[in-house]
Amino acid sequence: FLLPGISGWMKYAVAASVIAIAGMIFFRALRKPVKASIVLNAGGITANDSDSEEIQFSNSAELHRLINLPDGSRIVLSKNSSLHYVRLFNHNKREVYLTGDAFFDVAKDAKRPFYVYSGNVVTKVLGTSFRIISDDQLGKVTVSVKTGKVRVFRQSDARHQKDQYLLIRNEQLVFRDKETKPV
């Protein structure tokens, strides 16, 4: 064989190591520092490459998937759901866009409120945990608060304080296409 003086299983171990190192060098050479969106898929969660301006996640797995945001917030993304946000949060607010179902545990930052856009509904928080279920087919968005407080309103009503709802722990609000129903 090609490796004189090495016998038995050691030949295979050395050969496997050489192949692994060559593979790592090959794949690093292929990775180009371009700002293009490259899709990565691991365990049912699809995310675009970290070099992209906008970060996108999609979950096609049967299990919920945890997403850690750069501000310390944590999101559990349910099956058939997706989330995206601009890589660098704005200086005075943090914004994410949800399609589907996710549980949010938002890091507190009084200077930068956290906004979740789902359908025509906006959920604004400073630091709390809550769940949003956005069903485009039914034209329905449900916001359920576990801890803290959230302010919920339609995007079209953002300027009118009277059309905003404040939810506290264990409260839920269901938005339908034209009606809003507190539960």
pLDDT at 32 over 50: no
Tokens 């407080």 found at: 149
Classify 19 as helix, strand or coil: helix
Predicted structure pTM score: 0.69
**What percent of the chain lies above the pLDDT cut of 90?**
36
Query: Can you tell me the distance from the alpha carbon of 140 to that of 3, in angstroms, rounded to the nearest whole number?
Result: 67
pLDDT in tens, 145-167: 999 999 998 887 666 556 788 99
Judge residue 98's burial from the number of C-beta atoms within 10 Å of its C-beta, 0-12 exposed, 13-18 middle, 19 or more buried.
Answer: buried
| Complete DSSP assignment for 31-100 | --------EEEETTEEEE-TTSSEEEEEE-SSS-EEEE-TTS-EEEEPTTEEEEEESS--SS-EEEEEES
The residues, any chain, with a CB within 8 Å of residue 132's CB and separated by 6 or more, are 98, 101, 102, 104, 116, 118, 121, 123, 141, 142, 143, 144
Residue 47, amino acid = A
For the segment 26-30, the average pLDDT, to the nearest whole number, is 51
Could you tell me which residue, 49 or 155, shows the higher pLDDT? 155
Answer whether 75's CB lies under 8 Å from 82's CB.
Answer: no
Look at residue 40 in the predicted model and tell me its pLDDT.
Answer: 42
Return phi, psi of residue 67, to 5°: -120, 125
pLDDT at 19 over 60: yes
Look at residue 30 in the predicted model and tell me its pLDDT.
Answer: 46
Lowest mean pLDDT among 32-36, 53-57, 123-127, 167-171: 32-36
Look at residue 41 in the predicted model and tell me its pLDDT.
Answer: 46
Could you tell me which residue, 51 or 144, shows the higher pLDDT? 144
Any idea what DSSP says for residue 183?
-
Query: Can you tell me the distance from the alpha carbon of 101 to that of 76, in angstroms, rounded to the nearest whole number?
Result: 9
pLDDT in tens, 67-110: 988 889 999 999 999 999 887 777 788 999 999 999 999 999 88
